[in-house]
Amino acid sequence: MKNQQTIRQVVTKDSLLAALSAVGARSGMVIEVHSSLSALGYVAGGARTVVDALMELCGDSGTILMPMQTGDNTDPSGWENPPVDPSLWQVLRDNTPPYHPENTDIQYMGAIPENFRHRNGVVYSGHPSLSYAAWGKYARLLCNRQSIHFPLAEESPTARLYELRGHVLLIGTGYDKCTCMHLAEYRTDCRPIRVDCAAAAEGEENRWRKYLDLALDNSEFEKIGAIMEKKGMVRRTMLNNCPVSFFSAVDAIDEATEYFEKTVVYDLYR
């Protein structure tokens, strides 16, 4: 028999709502959520309880936004974790089904986004590799017209989040998961341009579609988050042993933009 530890702490919907209130999350806000179910420990009701709490918090006048990145729907020649033997590249290309917002795996995003994307009223932005799902008052505005090229730039849910002066909620995750900070990389032209590829949904054909993007890099996001904390921009609490952080998306993107302008030397595309 496995030697399993006794459950000594439980997260409930009420305790989660109390933690969200403690960091300043309120009804009517537009909130980009990044979460780790395992970081919460034992949750009564699992991912369903977390999503229920978020929807109850935001209410009919609020909006929830979550990234739905489909990391497996990319060209296998660029895979690194793990890499793929070149002899299998074409096999994977021929057998990867076209992107579908409700059925394509988001296995690297976690159980909470998986539960969220199947809720009634959720809409999708539709990018085959870097899509979003949203629910609530501004869901369609956030997910409308995400560009196939440079998908996290000015024609993206992230840019609409900035315009709506939304917020970011981190439940058990670090700043490296804060997708909205990528907008600063586009605004500062601090990364080289590259060509990516994904199996896009076009009829019944499995058509690999190339698109332009930057070589995005989240390795500096933790430093940016630390700067925000020093400036008092982040409200934090603990839910049992799980950290919960809440801050303005505008603050995060502006701080990241300033950071990249000062620290990254990349002028080729300026």
Digit-coded pLDDT (tens) for 109-143: 889 999 999 999 999 998 988 999 999 999 999 99
Tell me, what's the pLDDT at 234? 98
Q: Give the residue ranges of DSSP H helices in the chain.
A: 13-22, 46-58, 89-95, 111-116, 139-143, 157-163, 182-188, 221-230, 249-263
Q: What are the pLDDT digits (tens) for 148-170?
A: 999 999 999 999 999 999 999 99
Q: Assess whether pLDDT exceeds 70 at residue 270.
A: no
Residue 243 pLDDT level (bands cut at 50, 70, 90): very high
Average pLDDT rounded to a whole number, residues 183-189? 94
Asked if residue 257 is part of any domain, the answer here is yes
Contacts 24+ apart (CB under 8 A), 97-101: 97/199, 97/206, 98/128, 98/199, 98/200, 98/201, 98/202, 98/204, 98/205, 98/206, 98/207, 99/70, 99/73, 99/128, 99/129, 99/198, 99/199, 99/200, 99/201, 100/201, 101/68, 101/126, 101/131, 101/133
Q: Which domain holds residue 107?
A: 10-262
Asked if residue 248 is part of any domain, the answer here is yes
Asked if residue 269 is part of any domain, the answer here is no
Average pLDDT rounded to a whole number, residues 187-197? 90
Asked if residue 4 is part of any domain, the answer here is no
Tell me, what's the pLDDT at 3? 59
Number of structural domains found in the chain = 1
Residue 205 pLDDT level (bands cut at 50, 70, 90): low
Q: Give the residue, 202 or 217, on which the prediction is more confident.
A: 217
As a whole number of angstroms, the distance between CA 212 and CA 196 comes to 6
Asked if residue 181 is part of any domain, the answer here is yes
Average pLDDT rounded to a whole number, residues 184-195? 92
Asked if residue 191 is part of any domain, the answer here is yes
Are β-strands 10-11 and 42-43 bridged in parallel, bridged antiparallel, or unpaired?
parallel
Residue 265 pLDDT level (bands cut at 50, 70, 90): low
Token couple for 164: 């709506």
Asked if residue 218 is part of any domain, the answer here is yes
Tell me, what's the pLDDT at 1? 46
